[in-house]
Amino acid sequence: MVELARNAAGRRVPVIVNGCQQIPYLGIGKYQARGHKAGPPVRSNKDYPENGDKRLPDLQTALLRCGLCDGMVISNHHHLRDGDRVALMALEAAAKLGAKDLMWFPSASFPAQKNAIDLMQSGVIHHIEGSMNGPLGDYCTQGKMRGMGVLRSHGGRWQAIQDGEVHIDIAIIAAPTADPFGNADGSHGRSACGSLGFALADSMYADFVIAVTDNLVPFPCIPWQIQGNNVDCVVEVDSIGDPAQIISGTTQITRSPDRLQIAEFVARFLRDSGIMRNGFSFQAGAGGIALAFVDYLRRMMKEDGVKARFVRGGSTRYLVEMLQEGLTDYILDGQTFDLDAVKSIASDPRHVPTSPLTSYNYHGKGNFASMVDAVVLGATEVDVNFNGNVVTHSDGRLLHGIGGWQNCLFAGCSILAIPSFRDRIPVIVDEVTTLTGPGELIDVVVTERGIAINPDRQDLVDAVKGSSLPIRPIQDIKAEVERICGGKPAKPKLGDRPVAVVKWVDGTVLDTVWQLG
Amino acid sequence: MVELARNAAGRRVPVIVNGCQQIPYLGIGKYQARGHKAGPPVRSNKDYPENGDKRLPDLQTALLRCGLCDGMVISNHHHLRDGDRVALMALEAAAKLGAKDLMWFPSASFPAQKNAIDLMQSGVIHHIEGSMNGPLGDYCTQGKMRGMGVLRSHGGRWQAIQDGEVHIDIAIIAAPTADPFGNADGSHGRSACGSLGFALADSMYADFVIAVTDNLVPFPCIPWQIQGNNVDCVVEVDSIGDPAQIISGTTQITRSPDRLQIAEFVARFLRDSGIMRNGFSFQAGAGGIALAFVDYLRRMMKEDGVKARFVRGGSTRYLVEMLQEGLTDYILDGQTFDLDAVKSIASDPRHVPTSPLTSYNYHGKGNFASMVDAVVLGATEVDVNFNGNVVTHSDGRLLHGIGGWQNCLFAGCSILAIPSFRDRIPVIVDEVTTLTGPGELIDVVVTERGIAINPDRQDLVDAVKGSSLPIRPIQDIKAEVERICGGKPAKPKLGDRPVAVVKWVDGTVLDTVWQLG
C-alpha cells in the first residue's frame, strides 16, 4: 500500500514516488528551494578525439561507449513530435544490448512511440517519467506500468534535472543537423523542427550525450543550439523522423462556429480590458482556437494601431506573419509548429529560440512566463474554483501531458479558452478529476456561452465593465451547460492505487492520477 | 616559508596557493580530472519580481542585496579592455561599504585599473587571481600583494570556475546593452565590445550576478549573450566605459620591415606546408604581426583559390573582410577588437560569438582549439626546447596575462611569430624565465632571421622540404641573435618568494613567478 498525504490543495498524494521521498504541494510560492544545482561529471579533453570527430557507427556502439547498464535513465526530447524515430530506435538498441529496467525520461511521448509498451512488457523499460500523450498514458492509467508516472511541465522538467531530482545517465538528442563534434541545430535539414530547447537541459546535465542526425555537416554546425562541448558521440542514421509528422497537424484554424466564437471572445477580452496596448505581449499555442484567436487579435491590433513587444510561440505561420507585418518586435519561441515557422526561425534574427530555462524554469532567477501579459490555454476540465485539468479526461484516463501549461499560468492574465462541453460532456465541473493548475492562478475562463472572470481578479472585472462581452459567473455557465448535456459528467471509476503524479512547477506533488477501477 | 615541489616540467612550484592545496603539473594529458562540476545555489522565481524588473538604483545597493561581505570573491570580465569603468566602480562601491580582504577575479586587468593598487594597499582587495597586464602585474612581482597571483588561460579560468576551484560570490557584468530582467548583449550600444563570452561562466556559476549597463532596452534584449535567468539585479550607470579604449589600439598592421618579414614567413609556411588548403582553419590575434600575417595569407588564398571553413578571432576588419570576400564560411569569435568586427558580429549570422567553454575549456568533452589547423601566437621568450613564456619579461617582471595562448597550443600547428630580439634583448633563450607553454606543444618558431621547426614534428619538417623558406635549427638562430645583441640576456634577479603561479589548462601548477630580488 502506498502511503498518502493530503497536500495544501486538499489532494491525496503519495509520499514516496519510485523510491524517492516527495514533498506534497504547499501552495503557490510556499516551497523554499534549497541546495545546489546538479553538477555533472568533470570530463577532460584528453579523453575525446583532438580532431573533434566523435562519430560512432551506430546507436548500439554509442550506448556501449556511454556505459549503458540496467536501471539507467535514458532521455529524449520531443521536438520531432509524432514523427520522431530516434527515441524508439535508441530504446530498441538498448533492448538488443539486453538492458533492463530503464527509466525512460522523454520530454514528451507520442502515439508513434506506442511500441514503448512492448518494451515495458518485456522489462526493458521499467517506467516513464514524462508527458504521455495517448496510448502510453492510457497504459499507465490501466495500472500496467511497473513504476509510477511522473508528469512535469516543461519548466518542471528543467527544474527536476537542474535540481538533481532526475539524474540522466544517457541523453539521446535527435538532431536535424549536426557536425562530427556534436554541435546540433534544429532549424536546418530535411527533418528540421525549429528549436531544440527541450533537449538543452539534457545536454547540459546528463552524464553522457549522444547526438543522432540524418544531416551531418562539416564543423561548425551553425547555429549550435546544442553545444558539442557537452556531447560524447555522434551517430548518423538514415532518418531521424517523418517530416510530415514532425510538423504538427494542429495548425489549422478551427472551422467550428462555437470555437470561432470562443476565439473572438478571447481577442475582444484582451482588447476591451486594455491588455492589448502598445508594447504588450501574449502567448498562444497551436490548437485551432488559439490560432483563430491570433487571427482575430491581429485584426484588432491593426484596427487600433497597436504593436506588441513580443509574442511567444509555439510558433506558426500566424505569428510569423505578425512579425513580418511589424505587429511584434520579436517571437520568443519554444516550439516550432509549421514549416513557415521553421523557415522563419532559421533565417530571421527577430525569431528567437528559447529554452525551458529562459521561459519556464521556476527555480531560476525569474523566467519569461511571468512577464507575458496574457496567455491563452486549453484544458480538459475546469472547476467552479477555477482549478484546471489538462492531463486526464473526466473518465479518469491519462491522455495528455502538461507541456508549458502550468508555467504559463504565471502570466499577467491566464485565460482558458475552452468549449463548454465536448461529446456532450460538460467541461466545467464541480471539482477537476486531476488538479493540474491551482485556481488562484487561472484568471479567466472563456467559453462560447460566456466569459467567467476569477473573482480574485477584481482588476479584470473592473477593466471590462461596460464592454459588450458576455461576462457571467462560472456557476451560471456551468448550470446552463448541465441543462444542455443532461446533467453533470459521470464520476470516473477510479481505484485507490496511484499510477502517476502531477508535479507542480517547484517539484512538489500537486495531485495523483489513479488506476482506473 | 612556502613549501615547494618540483613538477613534471622540472619547475619548482608552491604546493599550497592562497590556502588551497595544489597539484603540480604532471605533463600534457596526464592529470585525470575527477569529481563533479560546481553547482550554484538553487533559486526560486518567488524571490524575484514577477514583472522581471530587477533594476536597483546603484551598485552599492546591488552589492548589499547580494550580501557583500569581507573575503568574498568578486569577478569581472575584460571585454571592455583598457576602457572598462565598471570593475573599479564596483570595487570602489565595495570599499565605500567597508568591505575588506576581497579576492578580485577579473578575466583580465588592464592599466586603466591601476587604482586597484590603492584598494590593495587599503586592504579592500586581498589579492588578484587573473591576468594582470602592466602595473598590477608589476606590483605583484614587487611582492606587495598579500595573496599569491594566479594566472590562468581563458580556458583555465572556465575550468577553475566550472570545477569549483574558484567560487565566485558576486559577478559583475559590464553590459553594453541589457534589459531590466538582466539579459545582456555586447554587440549593440555605444559601448559595444562584441562578444561577452568571458563573462558567461561567471553568470552561470556565481552565487550572485549584477549586470551594469549604460544602454537599457525594454525586455527582451536580443541577442541575450548573458541570460537574465542567471542575473540577480541590474544597475544603470552613465557610462560603462570609454569607447575609444574599448576598441583595442593594437589593430594596425605593423610597419616594421622585420615584423612584416615574420608575417610573410608565417603565411608562406602555411601555404608551403599544405596547411593552407580548402576547408582549413586558422586563428590569429590582433597584434601587428598577426594582422600582417592575415593580410599575406589572404592574398595567397586568393591566388591559389583556397577557402577556409572557419577562422577564429580575436576578430578585426581583416577577418571580417575575408568573410565578406567569401574566403571563409565562418568567423568563430572570442573577442572583438575593432569597430568593423563589432558591426559584423552584430549583424552577420556567419560571425558567431564563442565562449571559453566552446573554444578553450580543457575539462569538457573536447573544445574548438584542437580542431584549428594552425594558430599564430606571440611570446615574450622561447627557449631552445621550444618552451614558451608570455607572462614575464626576461627581467622577471610580470606584465602580461596568458589569454587564450595556452589553449591555442592544442591546434594542429602552433606557431610562435616573434622578433628574434626586442630592445637588443634576445627572445630565444636557454630556458624561459616563466614556463607558460610546454615545448612539446609548440611546433614552429618564426623569426625574421629564420624558421625553426620543433624536431618532434617531423611531419612539418617533411612538409616544407624543398620550399624556399629559411628553415634553421633554433640553436642557429639563437647563436646569430646573441652575436648581434652582444650575448645572452642578463639573468633576472629573482628572490625565493613565489608571488604568482601559472596554471596549466587542467588546473595543475606549471610554474612560479618569483618576487624580484
Contacts of B49 in chain A (CB under 8 A): 366
Residue of A100, A144, A110, A150 lying closest to A129 (CA atoms): A150
In angstroms, the separation between the Cα of residue A514 and the nearest Cα of chain B is 30
Per the CB < 8 Å rule, is B365 touching A48? Answer: yes
In angstroms, the separation between the Cα of residue B514 and the nearest Cα of chain A is 30
CA-nearest residue to A163 within chain B is: B42
The pLDDT of residue A251: 66
The HSE-up count of residue B393 (CA atoms within 13 Å, CB side) is 14
CA distance B427 to B383: 8
A29, A54, A366: residue with CB nearest B229:
A366
| From A157-166, A354-363, B250-259, B402-411, the region with the lowest mean pLDDT | B250-259
* DSSP string computed for B461-474: HHHTTTSSS-B--H
Query: How far from the centroid of its chain's Cα atoms is residue B230's Cα?
Result: 24
CA distances A383 to A402, A432, A442, A501, Å, are 17, 6, 11, 19
Residue bearing cell 516513464:
A128
Fold match flag (A69-246 vs A257-486): yes
Specify which residues A6 forms β-bridges with. A12
In angstroms, the separation between the Cα of residue A232 and the nearest Cα of chain B is 6
pTM above 0.95, yes or no: yes
> Is the pLDDT at B248 greater than 80, yes or no?
no
Specify which residues A20 forms β-bridges with. A17
Per-10-residue mean pLDDT of chain A, 517 residues long, equals 94 97 98 96 98 98 98 97 96 98 97 96 98 94 97 98 98 98 96 95 98 98 97 98 76 88 98 98 89 96 98 92 98 92 94 96 98 97 98 95 97 98 96 98 98 98 97 98 96 94 98 96
A182, A209, A363: residue with CB nearest B42:
A363
The pLDDT of residue A248: 64
In angstroms, the separation between the Cα of residue B234 and the nearest Cα of chain A is 12
**Axis crossing angle, helix A288-304 with helix A257-272, rounded to the nearest 10:** 40
CATH 3.40.1080.10, applies to A69-246? yes
B42, B218, B371: residue with CB nearest A37:
B42
The pLDDT of residue B322: 97
In angstroms, the separation between the Cα of residue A482 and the nearest Cα of chain B is 38
The pLDDT of residue B416: 98
The CATH number for B257-493, chosen from 3.40.50.2300, 3.40.1080.10, 1.25.40.10, 3.10.440.10, is: 3.40.1080.10
CB B190 within 8 A of CB B214: yes
Domain ranges of chain B: 1-32, 50-246, 257-493
Residue of B407, B397, B498 lying closest to B152 (CA atoms): B407
CB B447 within 8 A of CB B296: no
CB B484 within 8 A of CB B134: no
Per the CB < 8 Å rule, is A229 touching B39? Answer: no
The pLDDT of residue A344: 96
Q: What CATH superfamily classification does A257-486 receive? A: Glutaconate Coenzyme A-transferase (3.40.1080.10)
| From A386-390, B78-82, B409-413, the region with the lowest mean pLDDT | B78-82
* pLDDT tens profile B47-75: 999 999 999 999 999 999 999 999 999 99
The secondary structure of chain B in percent helix, strand, coil, rounded to multiples of 5, reads 30, 25, 45
CATH 3.40.1080.10, applies to B50-246? yes
* pLDDT tens profile A218-237: 999 999 999 999 999 999 99
CA distance B114 to B303: 47
> Is the pLDDT at B502 greater than 90, yes or no?
yes
Per the CB < 8 Å rule, is A365 touching B36? Answer: no
The pLDDT of residue A246: 80
> Is the pLDDT at B250 greater than 70, yes or no?
no
Per the CB < 8 Å rule, is B330 touching A41? Answer: no
CB B504 within 8 A of CB B409: no
Residue bearing cell 560570490:
B169
Contacts of B229 in chain A (CB under 8 A): 357-358, 361, 364-367
Per the CB < 8 Å rule, is A54 touching B366? Answer: yes
Per the CB < 8 Å rule, is B52 touching A352? Answer: no
CA-nearest residue to B162 within chain A is: A42
Residue bearing cell 550525450:
A209
In angstroms, the separation between the Cα of residue A41 and the nearest Cα of chain B is 4
DSSP summary character for residue B238? S
The pLDDT of residue B180: 98
Q: How many CB pairs under 8 A join A and B?
A: 182
Per the CB < 8 Å rule, is A370 touching B45? Answer: yes
In angstroms, the separation between the Cα of residue B40 and the nearest Cα of chain A is 5
Cell of B391: 607572462
Per the CB < 8 Å rule, is A42 touching B48? Answer: no
**pLDDT, average across residues B188-209:** 96
* DSSP string computed for A148-211: -EEE--HHHHHHHHHTTSS--SEEEEEESEE-TT--EESSSSTT--S--GGGHHHHHH-SEEEE
Query: How far from the centroid of its chain's Cα atoms is residue B377's Cα?
Result: 12
Give strand ranges (E) for B71-176: 73-76, 102-106, 108-109, 125-128, 131-132, 149-151, 170-175
Per the CB < 8 Å rule, is B220 touching A330? Answer: yes
Per the CB < 8 Å rule, is B229 touching A39? Answer: no
Contacts of A182 in chain B (CB under 8 A): 365
